[in-house]
Amino acid sequence: MRILVVEDEKKVASFIKRGLEEEGFTVDAAFDGEEGLYMAETNSYDLILMDIMLPKMDGLAVVQKLRERKIMSPVLCLTAKDTVDDIVSGLNSGSDDYLTKPFAFAELLARVRALLRRGSQDRGAELTFADLRLDPVAHKVWRNNKELDLTAKEYALLEYFMRNPHQILTRTMIAEHVWDYTFDSFTNIIDVYVNYLRKKVDRDFEKKLIHTVRGVGYVLKEE
């Protein structure tokens, strides 16, 4: 899942980005309202974390513009303001939840996961393909009821495959959804991670699920 963090305090943005990436999310960061609006309009995000007090354009104005433009990604507002009026203003702008600073990362993570489950009816439901099963809430994966030990990046890569079965995924598509927007898709890192994942998902099983489409990318299919 891909998350956008819009936060002008770079240390805070870095802290949030690093913590979410350790949990297996792909995270982009913007440091002012105009940049955040541009990134939200030009990329697809499963969730946006929006600071309220931003340079160039405040967070509530960004959320309002996103909603006017029919961009309905869930938004969690982050702010030091904690009065009832502030909270009401944030929710009325079109945001979905409100978290006051300072906050514990554990609480932020719980809010993130709750919004992701709420954002799509099946987002929290288990994904299945052939004898492969993935639990997006527990971040666990099984093949033929045998639990697979995946790294955070391998898990994110497999989840992307399982949400797009039978679809050829190019290296650029994988880079945009599993890494962040600064990632160089012309490196061989994607191929390396697909090979890591393939060893864990396919090596001990007769039926192979992850296939190479030569010169294009990869596809999850039964063959």
Peptide bond into 102 cis (omega under 30): yes
**In contact, 78 and 50? CB cutoff 8 Å:** yes
Give yes or no: residues 147 and 212 share one domain.
yes
The structure tokens listed for 152 are 């955070």
Do 16 and 113 belong together in one domain?
yes
Phi, psi of 222, deg, nearest 5: -90, 135
Q: What is the pLDDT of residue 94?
A: 77
Q: Which of 32, 36, 37, 112 is nearest to 68 (CA)?
A: 37
Decide: pTM greater than 0.75. no
Choosing from 84, 119, 154, the residue where a domain stops is 119
Last residue of a domain, one of 79, 101, 119: 119
Q: Please check whether residues 20 and 115 belong to one and the same domain.
A: yes
- Check: CB of residue 26 under 8 Å from CB of residue 18: no
CATH number at residue 212: 1.10.10.10
Domain count across the chain: 2
Question: Both 104 and 155 in a single domain?
Answer: no
Q: What six digits make up the tokens of 80?
A: 């030091």
Pair 133, 47 in one domain: no
Which structure tokens are listed for 197? Answer: 């994942």
- The DSSP bridge pattern shows strands 2-6 and 47-51 to be parallel
**Which of 100, 119, 138 is where one domain is finished?**
119
| CATH code at position 99 | 3.40.50.2300
Q: Are 35 and 54 in contact (CB under 8 A)?
A: no
Q: Are 151 and 202 found together in one domain? A: yes
Check whether residue 70 and residue 143 sit in a common domain.
Answer: no
Q: Give the pLDDT confidence score for residue 182 in this predicted structure.
A: 61
Same domain, 65 and 137: no
- Which letter does DSSP use for residue 126 in this model? P
Please give the chain's pLDDT, 223 residues, in tens. Answer: 789 999 999 999 999 999 998 888 889 999 999 999 999 998 889 899 999 889 999 988 999 899 888 888 889 988 876 656 666 666 667 788 888 888 888 889 888 888 887 654 444 567 899 999 998 777 889 999 999 999 888 988 998 899 889 999 988 888 877 776 566 656 788 889 999 999 999 998 999 999 999 888 999 998 7
101 in the same domain as 18: yes
Residues 102 and 200 grouped into a single domain: no
Structural domain harbouring 181: 127-220
- Do 96 and 185 have their domain in common? no
Please answer whether residues 72 and 48 qualify as being in contact, where contact means their C-beta atoms are separated by less than 8 angstroms. Answer: no
pLDDT of residue 85: 66
Same domain for 7 and 55? yes
3-state secondary structure of 182: coil
